[in-house]
Amino acid sequence: MPLPSKLKEDCIVEALLELRFQSNELPEVIMAKIVDGLGVENFSRQQLPIADVPWTIRQQDPNLKHQPTVVFISENNKVQFKVGPSVLSVHNVGEYAGWENISKVFADAAKLVCTKIQSKIERCGLRYVNIVNPQQHYIENFSDLNVSVVINGNTQNPPLNVNYMLRSDGTAVVVRACSPEFVTPRLPEGSTAFIDIDVSTTDNGHTENSETVVKWLETAHDFEKKEFFKLLPAAAIEKLAVYD
pLDDT values of the chain reduced to their tens digit, one per residue, 244 residues? 688 988 999 999 999 999 999 888 899 999 999 999 999 999 999 999 999 999 889 989 988 999 999 999 999 999 999 999 999 999 999 999 999 999 999 999 999 999 888 788 999 999 999 999 999 999 999 999 999 999 999 999 999 999 999 998 889 999 999 999 999 999 999 999 999 999 999 866 678 889 999 999 999 999 999 999 999 999 999 999 999 8
Q: What's the whole-number average pLDDT of the chain?
A: 94
Residue (of 85, 115, 110, 82) closest to 25 by Cα position: 85
Which residue stretches of the chain are H helix? Answer: 27-38, 55-60, 99-111, 134-137, 210-231, 234-240
Q: Rounded CA gap, 73 and 58, in Å?
A: 24
- pTM for this entry: 0.94
Q: Is the Cβ–Cβ distance between 76 and 92 less than 8 Å?
A: no
pLDDT of residue 208: 81
pLDDT of residue 238: 93
**Cis bond leading into 159, ω under 30°?**
yes
pLDDT of residue 1: 65
Residue 226's CB: how many other CB atoms inside 10 A? 13
pLDDT of residue 123: 93
